[in-house]
Amino acid sequence: MSAEGAAAQTVRITYREAMRQAIREALIRDPRVFLMGEDVGRYGGCFAVSRGLLEEFGPERIRDTPLSESAFVGAGIGAAMGGMRPIVEIMTVNFSLLALDQILNNAATILHMSGGQFNIPLVIRMTTGAGRQLAAQHSHSLEGWYAHIPGIKILTPATLEDARGMLWTALEDPDPVLIFEHGGLYNTEGELAADAGAVEIDHAAVRRAGSDVSLIAYGGTLGKALRAAEELAAGGIDAEVLDLRTLRPLDTESILASVTRTHRAVIIDEGWRSGSIAAEVSARIMEGAFYELDAPVARVCSAEVPMPYPRHLEEAALPQAATVVQTVRAMVGKRD
Amino acid sequence: MTPTPQAASSNHPQPAGEHSLTALRQMILIRRFEEKCAELYNAGKIHGFVHLYIGEEAIAVGVIAQLQPEDAIVATYREHGHALVRGVPATAVMAEMYGKQEGCSRGRGGSMHLFDAATRFYGGNAIVGGGLPLAVGLALADKMAGRARVTACFFGEGAVAEGEFHECLNLSALWKLPVLFCCENNLYAMGTALRRSESETDLCLKASSYEMPAWPVDGMDVEACQDAARRALTAVRGGGGPLFLEFRTYRFRAHSMFDPQLYREKQEVEEWKKRDPILTFGARLREAGLLDDNVLKSIEDDVAAEIDRSVEFAEAGTWEPVEELTRFVYSERTRP
Ligand SMILES: Cc1ncc(C[n+]2csc(CCOP(=O)(O)OP(=O)(O)O)c2C)c(N)n1
């Protein structure tokens, strides 16, 4: 088969499976790579991402840990400093708070604090986000918080390509990289190039070109932004959808370039509005593209409440495509 | 080593009539209530995560009945049984499972977050180990205020691996706080067997290293649980500081509603089911002449009626208006 033919071939795959293939490939390619976390082995991963890997790679490299987030994240930091390439899985972002001390006070600081002597090539993966009626201790989106911290990188794969391709690049990075997988994405299914592999992690990506407004989203909100764009298109508004992909470092250039094309921006973020990554993006637009704007920047974020359990309140608390559509219509002054 | 009075299940004194039937009824109530919850989950009435206590009923029934109304309880996400035995009405618990505003947490918490101020039920907590510090603080407040109350803190053996467990046992022992630590050791934390997560699997040995009495209890035997709790509460109320009870038990169902249970053998589950606390206690009551088919039938009928009422109540319940989404993020000091 020609190289061209191979590239054109696609496979139908879920986000979960793309992630599993990425982990599997990393384990095969680099003997220093291992996966550790709660229930990643026998149980198959709490979201079934690592199912089957224990059987293939054994308990040395697929390590079930006790319930001790601070200990095993810290151990990941130590192992990374000791020459390994750990992938640490934390079940959900809410539990990562038990390891926040290790992430912030060690992983993010040691390189700088040691005068550049010790880098930490660690990858931490965790699930984030709401939408599954898991209430206030299992549903938050704290990646924006983590993006506040210098010394780490924050990736938010929203597409199959990124689920498949970001991990390897993260592992090659000399510094700690946190990957946030939105829980609502695991079952999304689509076509992925059969030879899909590593992707770059430095740039935002335009997922839909448009000229009237920039919808800036990431992770779990990308799908909502794309749906909103479709609906807006039906009403004659041409929205561009920018997927941030990486929350730290933010690709300011792509954000400003998009706003310079469209002159309007709506940021869609599942985090709480106050002090959010949406606030940061908005500030950068003010700083770098203020005179390009035809309207104030708008934000569609989660309501400032702990996530409630019942579906109708959870939906009311989350950013929705319909809210994005309304916001844009109000902004461009078109209604139907 | 720790003084460990034998809390074995062998030589039972004669069960006392009415008291024993109450305990039997409470266990049956929990069992049937949760079976109903599973049914309602499959019918799409209940959502999110639901962790059944089936198999472990003897512990909540044995311990909580020994508490005084002014004592406090802190529990985990596997807390339906604790709430019911404590006297949170089945109607309010079921409405909470539905997410209706008549629920004990206004519908906002769901299965994992049952709260009830009236019975000093300080919550289901869905962060493993998250409740222990709260219990220590409640007990600290009691001690500082000179109140002779006890806080009973329930948690699974998985929590023993968390740092908070060790920090809390130490602090409460150091300050001689009135906490009764009730560790429900069902051998598995999700898919992780105790022996695969602890270097030392003798939990009483760990607890006693913090200078507190620690006793193993047959958690499948409601009388053993009652007896241990009674003696433990006397000791804690006496001002001697905290006490640790390890209840050896087993969950008959999946960790949450669904899990393929790859981590344990069917045979093992069947073996434990032979020690079903309801069946074994029922048999003992029959031997003592306190239970016959008629009495059992009247208990079952009575429980069934109570559960029917709870389902009717939940069905008739109402959704909290979306306008109230942001209520109680902060306290309402003055409300018109
Ligand atoms: C800090 C934290 N880490 C991980 C989880 C995910 N989780 C929920 S329950 C559970 C197992 C806990 O087992 P155990 O403490 O033995 O209680 P059991 O479920 O057996 O009653 C895990 C890992 C969590 N809720 N909180």
Sorted by where each begins, the domain ranges of chain B are 17-313
Instruction: Give the domain ranges of chain A.
Output: 3-193, 205-332
Q: Answer yes or no: do B162 and A68 touch at CB < 8 A.
A: yes
Give the model confidence (pLDDT) of B210-254 as tens digits.
999 999 999 999 999 999 999 999 999 999 999 999 999 999 999
Q: Give CATH for domain A205-332.
A: 3.40.50.920
Model pTM? Answer: 0.92
Q: Which of B41, B96, B112, B134 to mutate to test the interface with A (most CBs of A within 10 A)?
A: B112
- Note if A148 is an active site residue: no
pLDDT at B257 over 90: no
- Cβ-based contacts of A312 with chain B (< 8 Å): 319, 322
Q: Answer yes or no: do A39 and B127 touch at CB < 8 A.
A: no
Q: Is B45 on the interface with A (CB under 8 A)?
A: no
- Nearest 5°: the CA angle B223, B224, B225 is 90
pLDDT at A2 over 90: no
pLDDT at A306 over 70: yes
Q: Does the C-beta of A242 come closer than 6 Å to ligand 1?
A: no
- CB-CB contact of B59 with B249 (8 Å): yes
Atom of ligand 1 minimally distant from the CA of B186: 20
DSSP-based helix, strand, coil % in chain A, nearest 5: 40, 20, 35
**How many Cβ atoms from other residues are within 10 Å of residue A168's Cβ?**
21
Tell me, which fold does domain B17-313 have in CATH?
Answer: Rossmann fold (3.40.50)
- Note if A69 is an active site residue: yes
Q: Does the C-beta of B118 come closer than 6 Å to ligand 1?
A: no
User: For B163, which of A70, A138, A304 is closest by C-beta distance?
Assistant: A70
Conformation bin of residue B199: beta by default, left when phi > 0, alpha when psi is -120 to 50: alpha
Strand A33-37 versus strand A62-64 pairing type: parallel
Give the model confidence (pLDDT) of A178-212 as tens digits.
999 999 999 999 999 999 999 999 999 999 999 99
Give the model confidence (pLDDT) of A78-137 as tens digits.
999 999 999 999 999 999 999 999 999 999 999 999 999 999 999 999 999 999 999 999
Residue located nearest, by CA, to atom 25 of ligand 1:
B127
- Nearest 5°: the CA angle B91, B48, A304 is 95
Q: Does the C-beta of B253 come closer than 6 Å to ligand 1?
A: no
Put simply, the chain A residues between 37 and 96 with a CB less than 8 A from any chain B CB are 38-39, 42-44, 46, 64-71, 94-95
Q: For residues B48-64, give the mean pLDDT.
A: 98
* Position with higher pLDDT, A335 vs B296: B296
Q: Answer yes or no: do B108 and A309 touch at CB < 8 A.
A: yes
pLDDT at B1 over 60: no
Q: For residues B103-116, give the mean pLDDT.
A: 98
Give the model confidence (pLDDT) of B279-302 as tens digits.
999 999 999 999 999 999 999 999
Average pLDDT, chain B: 94
What's the gap in Å between the CA of B153 and the closest CA on chain A?
18
Give percent of chain A with pLDDT exceeding 90. Answer: 96
What's the gap in Å between the CA of A43 and the closest CA on chain B?
5
Q: Give CATH for domain A3-193.
A: 3.40.50.970
Rounded Cα distance, A242 and A214, in Å = 7
- Cβ-based contacts of B188 with chain A (< 8 Å): none
Rounded Cα distance, B58 and B225, in Å = 7
Q: Does the C-beta of B159 come closer than 6 Å to ligand 1?
A: yes
**The token pair that represents B118 in the structure block:** 């009236």
Q: Does the C-beta of B249 come closer than 6 Å to ligand 1?
A: no
Q: Is A311 on the interface with B (CB under 8 A)?
A: yes
Separation in Å, CA A252 to CA A52, A225, B220: 40, 19, 61
Residue located nearest, by CA, to atom 13 of ligand 1:
B189
Q: For residues A128-154, give the mean pLDDT.
A: 97
Give percent of chain B with pLDDT exceeding 70. Answer: 95
**Which pLDDT score is estimated for B4?**
43
* Residue in A17, A69, A280, A314 annotated catalytic: A69
The residue type found at A215 is L
User: For B47, which of A66, A133, A304 is closest by C-beta distance?
Assistant: A133
Q: For residues A147-169, give the mean pLDDT.
A: 98
